[in-house]
Amino acid sequence: MRAVSVAAPRGFDLSQLARTWELLLLLTARDVKLRYEGTILGFLWTLAKPLLLALVFSFALSKVLRIDVGDAPYVLFLLSALFPWTWFQSSVQFSAGSFSNNAALLKKVYFPRFVLPFSAITSQLIHFLLSIPILALLLLAADFSPGPEWLLGVPLLMAIQLLMLAGAVLLVASFNVFLRDLEHLVEVLMLLWLYLTPILYPLSLVKERIGSVIYLNPMASLIQAWRDLFLYDQLPGVDIWPALLFAGIALVAGSIAFKTLEGQFEVAL
């Protein structure tokens, strides 16, 4: 016999759902604001990091190693994958400590706790959304004009990446309460993951050598889809199925981990 029923005072759980949503928005707004608090260049810093990274990589990989990426300039080829990747990577990294760093709050007030790691996703999403116009301008300058396909493709890929992230951050943030090492481990793993994903190089390059094994990387097909959309205005096709599958797996695993471990937060935090 183990049950907790908490009946809502009036009208279903709808008010609770609305409040959770508001909490998520408020935390997101706070995160975004905090990021730029006291900086003169503000939002430019968010752009500067991937842009600088792109310059370094483009020198090393297109000038020195001469990777063939087709007709697009290497910087654009890179950025079209690096921006969505940055959203993924920084969300996972920032969310890792979202339970363990908020122990005081979690031990005192009950609220739907998943909003904490989720707010890392949404605040990073804002940065990603703001970087899309920059990318569009750069593409325009290079005669790779963005097409109307973006209007459908961007929300679609965003939704898939959101689901994947939701599962991933629940998993990482929940386990990090019990093993704080995870925070550091995630940072290293993310760097490795960056190199293992077709971001710096085209998917076709690895597919020639290792075949479909590349699709075991949950981000491979998704990143490729982002690139095809941004560079060539191609809407995602059936090739997207590995990303969908992994998003589902992440979501299930993350929810189970969170549900199971949440009960132990009070003693572990």
Partner 1 sequence: MKSPYNGQEVITLDNVSKRYYLYPQRVRELKKAILHLPTFLKDSRARQPFWALRDVSLTVRRGESVGIIGPNGAGKSTLLRIVSRLAPLTKGKLTVRGRVSPLLELGAGFHPQISGRENAVLNAVLLGLSHKEAQEKLPEIVEFSELGNFIDQPMRTYSSGMYVRLGFAVAVHVRPEILLVDEVLAVGDAEFQRKCFDHIEKLRQEQVTIVLVTHDLESVKRFCDRAVLLNHGVIAVEGEPQEVVDEYLSSHFEFSAGPTDGGDS
Under the rule (CB under 8 A), what is the footprint of partner 1?
1-7, 9, 15, 18-19, 22-23, 25-27, 30, 33-34, 37, 102, 104-105, 107-111, 178-181, 262-263, 266-268
Q: How far is the CB of 120 from partner 1 (least distance, A)?
A: 15
Q: How far is the CB of 22 from partner 1 (least distance, A)?
A: 4
Residue 194, CA distances (Å) to 50, 110, 200, 237 in order: 13, 36, 8, 23
Residue 161, CA distances (Å) to 33, 111, 150, 243 in order: 24, 25, 16, 8
Of the pair 204, 264, the CB lying nearest partner 1 is at 264
Q: Are 78 and 58 in contact (CB under 8 A)?
A: yes
Q: How many residues in total does the chain contain?
A: 269
Of the pair 22, 68, the CB lying nearest partner 1 is at 22
Q: How far is the CB of 37 from partner 1 (least distance, A)?
A: 6
Q: How far is the CB of 93 from partner 1 (least distance, A)?
A: 18
Of the pair 16, 234, the CB lying nearest partner 1 is at 16
Q: How far is CA 103 from the centre of its chain?
A: 24
Q: How far is the CB of 4 from partner 1 (least distance, A)?
A: 5
Q: How far is CA 223 from the centre of its chain?
A: 11
| Nearest of 256, 94, 68, 98 to residue 177 by alpha carbon | 98
Of the pair 208, 266, the CB lying nearest partner 1 is at 266
Q: Are 250 and 163 in contact (CB under 8 A)?
A: yes
The per-residue DSSP string of 159-225 comes to: HHHHHHHHHHHHHHHHHHHH-THHHHHHHHHHHHHHHHSTTSS-HHHHHHHHGGGGGGSTTHHHHHH
Q: Using CA atoms, how far apart are residues 138 and 78, in angstroms rounded to an integer? A: 12
Q: How far is the CB of 56 from partner 1 (least distance, A)?
A: 31
Side chain identity at 140, as an amino acid letter? L
Of the pair 17, 52, the CB lying nearest partner 1 is at 17
Q: How far is the CB of 113 from partner 1 (least distance, A)?
A: 11
Of the pair 87, 265, the CB lying nearest partner 1 is at 265
Of the pair 171, 200, the CB lying nearest partner 1 is at 171
Q: Using CA atoms, how far apart are residues 95 and 173, in angstroms rounded to an integer? A: 6
